[in-house]
Amino acid sequence: MSRFRNAAAFAALAFAGAAAAQSNFPSKPITLVVGFAAGGATDASARIIAKKLSENVKQSVIVDNKAGAGGNLAAQLVANAPPDGYTIHLSSVGPLSVAPSLVKNLPYDPEKDLAPLTMGVVFPAVFVVHPSVPAKNLTELVALAKKEPGTLNYASTGVGSASHLAGEMLKQRAGVDIVHIPYKGGGPIMTDLLTGRVTGYFSTLSTAGPHIEAGKLRAIATSGLTRMAALPNVPTVAEQGFPGFEAVNWYALVAPGKTPPAILDRLNAELVKVLKDPDVKKQLAEHGMEPVPMTRPQLAAYIKKEREAWAKVIATAGIKAD
């Protein structure tokens, strides 16, 4: 009997230790993994969120850029990280809602291996071109693409990324042949776009805004159903001959799938608090982003809805992972 009593006592101590660890969470630095290179919109929003989260929980929050595979590399790293709440991920539509339809042997299951925390931000993209492109608006660009099929190209932050899918949706709706060129983040894309090495890009306002203001890039369309407040004179894709066109981007926060519910709830509460902070909202708005805090079940439902919608675009386009 003493053996069973000892085992029960050990189990009770282990449970008490785990409970104490959860109640004291966080007691050390948190790593916020980002799936794209520094200099892009994902990185910018991550740093805004990380700074405020760090202030609120009184622990360092370190932004760790792990670019590769359209954000899937970072998602895989977080899926395999210790499920203790100290590694979280600012992910996007690609790894969470597109990859299951795109990658045959995906090394993680977004639904099982990554636990939803909250939506971070939602925002439309702006399609920008180098000033040397002889098109002042989307109608002229489509006409040019039809006149010279295969000569124009567009960049994206990787196969299956939001910028890639927006481009493919436009190609399908317009019936044009524009070559896709994948990159590892918005920063590297800007380098080539500003020198004219690529034709265009469905960019975030955070990345393209300063270059639009400086006249180094031309904004010819936005991807939401309504015009962006920061670019009131730039018509939407829908306004330029493609009714109903909508391809918004979003970044959501997730954790390793087996993270204890108590820690997931604590992270949700702290992140929602961050996203509702007036200063954080102001900073994100300056980048053209709207914070959309959610409950964990709400985010799970949103990811599923997006997964179903983009699966149709991928099938129609015949997109294959590299």
Q: Give SS3 for 177.
A: coil
Short-list 199, 190, 123, CA closest to 167 = 199
Please give the mean pLDDT across all residues of the chain: 91
Query: 126-240 has which fold?
Result: D-Maltodextrin-Binding Protein; domain 2 (3.40.190)
Q: Is 105 exposed, middle or buried (0-12, 13-18, 19+ CB in 10 A)?
A: exposed
Architecture per CATH, 2-122+250-317: 3-Layer(aba) Sandwich (3.40)
For residues 59 and 30, the answer to whether their CB atoms sit within 8 Å is: yes
**Identical fold at 2-122+250-317 and 126-240?**
yes
Compare 1 and 227 and report the one with higher pLDDT: 227
What pLDDT, on the 0 to 100 scale, is given for residue 8? Answer: 54
What is the residue extent of each domain of the chain? Answer: 2-122+250-317, 126-240
pLDDT mean over 164-188: 92
Tens of pLDDT, residues 57-81: 999 999 999 998 889 999 999 999 9
Instruction: Please write down the HEC assignment for all residues of 191-206.
Output: HHHHCCCCCEEEECHH
Distance separating alpha carbons of residues 24 and 21, to the nearest angstrom? 5
Q: Is the pLDDT of residue 20 over 60?
A: no
Give the tens place of pLDDT for each residue, 132-171.
999 999 999 999 999 999 999 999 988 888 899 999 999 9
Q: Residue 56 pLDDT more than 50?
A: yes
Average pLDDT over residues 49-62: 98
Query: Around 215, how many Cα atoms within 13 Å sit in the side-chain half-sphere?
Result: 0
Q: What is the pLDDT of residue 15?
A: 47
Residues 92-141 have pLDDT tens digits of 998 999 999 999 899 999 999 999 999 999 999 999 999 999 999 999 99
Question: What's the CA gap between 84 and 229, in Å, rounded?
Answer: 40
3-state secondary structure of 119: strand
* Amino acid identity, position 313: V
| Cβ-Cβ contacts under 8 Å for 252 (sequence gap 6 or more) | 90, 91, 92, 96, 116, 117, 118, 119, 120, 299, 302, 303
